[in-house]
A and B are shown apart, each in its own frame.
Chain A
């Protein structure tokens, strides 16, 4: 880390996300106003970023910008766009992490573009095939990590084995579970259930040396039947968005009922808030660290607003401080001694 105060340097794709650059820049300014230990480097076309920054007094703030000639536009094929546009903002920002000019990247850019750039410019950690997004899905089961929540829609059995290993490391590092249980998300508990992917993954996990406890069904997630649950991102992302929509619907339902039945509202006062808090999605869901790439890359929701950006920058700082990538590498080395890859 450079700089007189040795701040943690977070590069941000100023052009990524539904509300970029306005909300991204606003959130970045708020992040450095809140925490003097963070330096933010906004990456995007100079004119655009300068125009946004001009709205704030940043004269005493540790915030600067780096020019990129281009950026990935909505609707572009992410994998191709990154290779076609090596000077796109996301690529420039990731190259800064590679060159150790930034300690981490935060981006609300399309997942495919972030992942492709990360693979291309940072590379994968040795022994990991695919980047993956994961974390606890619901506060009702805080000790259950689900992977993949959003990167690999079509998976091979080896990918799910990778996710199980990363999930086990996650559970050890962040949940302090020494020997996390691992399960395969399926439509039945018995071996042999499911589709081709789950049937072929089962024996791989069984002989992996991980603490594999078999299949778990969707309803087992809420009851925390396993510490690590693996699935492809088609299932994981559907699950996550179902949860997101469900939590919102339940909240609206209670609000409607409270309006219609004031007595009920009085009786339930405080309880509804409690219920909603327990249903709330942890911040890891739908965003968070992209595990497996050789550097710290944090994905934000595409629809992130300024407060979300500020939170994610603070989380990126925490991930840098915990040296998560090195921890993953050393945990992988430990796990490798006990598993059959």
Chain B
């Protein structure tokens, strides 16, 4: 598990109050019992933590937690290479 994934899980658990074990690659946001305000808080916290921007058009495409992690890892790598 990457450091990025660990950090994202920390953020999600703190904001959504879900169990860490729920956060599997196939878990949906419904599985996490996250509502729209949770999601806004998670997105804002992740943008702040990694210094990246997650446009809403991209955020709409995440099907599950795995997609979410893959996207953030790519964004963080992209930022590191810039």
Contacts and interface: CB of A to CB of B under 8 A. Distances in A.
Interface stretch (A8-16, A67-75, A117-125, A310-318): A117-125
B56 A119 contact: no
Contacts of B56: 80, 83-84
Interface of A is mostly: helix
A305 interface: no
Contact of B44 (A77, A123, A152, A156): A123
Contacts, number: 37
B22 interface: no
Contacts of B41: 119, 124, 129
Interface of B is mostly: helix
Nearest to B48: A123
A115 B38 CA distance: 12
Interface residues of A, number: 20
A299 interface: no
B44 A120 contact: yes
Given A119-B41, A158-B17, A79 B59 contact: no
B35 interface: yes
Given A83-B56, A84-B56, A77 B17 contact: no
Contacts of B36: 77-80, 112, 116
B37 interface: yes
A27 B56 CA distance: 35
* B15, B17, B36, B43 interface centre (most CB from chain A within 10 Å): B36
Contacts of A152: 37
B40 A120 contact: yes
B44 A79 contact: no
Contacts of A124: 41
A301 interface: no
Given A79-B37, A80-B56, A129 B44 contact: no
A154 interface: yes
B17 A119 contact: no
Given A119-B44, A120-B44, A156 B17 contact: yes
Interface in B28-82: 33, 35-37, 39-41, 43-44, 56, 59-60
A120 B36 CA distance: 12
A130 interface: yes
A116 B40 contact: yes
B75 to A, nearest CB: 16
Contacts of A77: 36
Given A80-B56, A120-B44, A156-B33, 11 more contacts: A78-B36, A82-B40, A83-B43, A83-B56, A83-B59, A112-B36, A116-B40, A119-B40, A119-B44, A120-B40, A129-B15
* 6 tightest Cβ-Cβ pairs between the two chains A and B: A79-B36, A83-B56, A84-B56, A158-B17, A156-B17, A79-B40
Interface of B: 15, 17, 33, 35-37, 39-41, 43-44, 56, 59-60
